[in-house]
């Protein structure tokens, strides 16, 4: 199965169901302006209750590198996801795996990924001038596919149970990331939608991944 990240987790029961369904990662948003914001203490408590195969990812937006590092250590995150204009020189030595978001606008081309954080996993999401993620907007899968052929890529942006199988088949990303597509309101996951999403992902037969398991 294509690895799955369930982002915007705020509740322990949502995280546990995601783990039971086969999620490789759960994402916690530490950007205070997000409707899915959680405190490090809340995230640490939720993560501590999950099985060891599930890793925590922290989402940050232009936050001081010292704060990102401290939160990552405090929560026990496996990776940090940077959604702003962070520079690799400043954040690259943070001591955790990095997922760098690339927000694709309607006129984006595959060249948008050229030279961008070459050692990081790229997360492709839809551009919004205000919201840094969880918009429910779909990215151009043709552009995403071209990027995914050359980089380890996580696909996000408007994924739902009714389109994720097609997205995986067309883009062949390393992993998929979903937040709003499995919610009944921001930060509150719909368990029926979660189950349907995983069923759809499992329906896609894809080539064997030779990259060595679910490491972002």
14, 20, 85, 125: the catalytic one is 125
Query: What average pLDDT score do residues 193-199 get?
Result: 98
7, 14, 140, 177: the catalytic one is 7
- The answer as to whether 78 is a domain residue is yes
- The answer as to whether 209 is a domain residue is no
pLDDT above 50 for 213: no
**How long a stretch of residues is the chain?**
216
Quote the number of domains for the chain.
Answer: 1
- The answer as to whether 127 is a domain residue is yes
Residues spanned by the domain of 195? 4-202
Q: How confident is the model at residue 93 (pLDDT cuts 50, 70, 90)?
A: confident
Q: What is the CATH number of the domain that holds 97?
A: 3.20.20.70
- The answer as to whether 88 is a domain residue is yes
Residue 125: active-site member: yes
pLDDT above 70 for 89: yes
Residue 14: active-site member: no
pLDDT above 70 for 199: yes
- 179 vs 206, more confident: 179
Nearest Cα neighbor of 201 from 144, 159, 147, 140 is: 159
- The answer as to whether 211 is a domain residue is no
Residue 211's pLDDT is 44
Q: What is the DSSP string of 46-109?
A: HHHTS-TT-EEEEEESS--HHHHHHHHHHHT-SEEEE-SS--HHHHTTSSSEEEEEEEE-TT--
């Amino acid at each position: 199965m294509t690895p799955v990240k369930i982002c915007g987790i705020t509740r322990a029961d949502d995280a546990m169901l995601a783990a039971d369904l086969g999620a490789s990662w759960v994402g916690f948003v530490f950007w205070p302006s997000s409707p899915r914001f959680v405190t490090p203490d809340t995230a640490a408590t939720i993560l501590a209750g999950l099985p060891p195969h599930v890793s925590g990812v922290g989402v940050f937006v232009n936050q001081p590198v010292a704060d990102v590092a401290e939160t990552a250590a405090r929560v026990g995150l496996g990776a940090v996801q940077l959604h702003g204009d962070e520079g690799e020189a400043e954040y690259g030595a943070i001591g955790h795996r990095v997922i760098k978001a690339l927000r694709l606008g309607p006129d984006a081309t595959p060249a948008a990924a050229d030279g961008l954080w070459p050692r990081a996993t790229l997360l492709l999401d839809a551009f919004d001038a205000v919201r840094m993620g969880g918009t429910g907007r779909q990215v151009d899968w043709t552009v995403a596919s071209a990027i995914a052929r050359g980089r380890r890529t996580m696909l996000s942006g408007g994924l739902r149970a009714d389109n994720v199988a097609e997205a995986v088949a067309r883009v062949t990303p390393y992993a998929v990331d979903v937040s709003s597509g499995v919610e009944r309101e921001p930060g509150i996951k719909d368990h029926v939608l979660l189950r349907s999403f995983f069923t759809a992902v499992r329906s896609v037969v894809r080539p064997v991944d030779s990259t060595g398991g679910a490491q972002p």
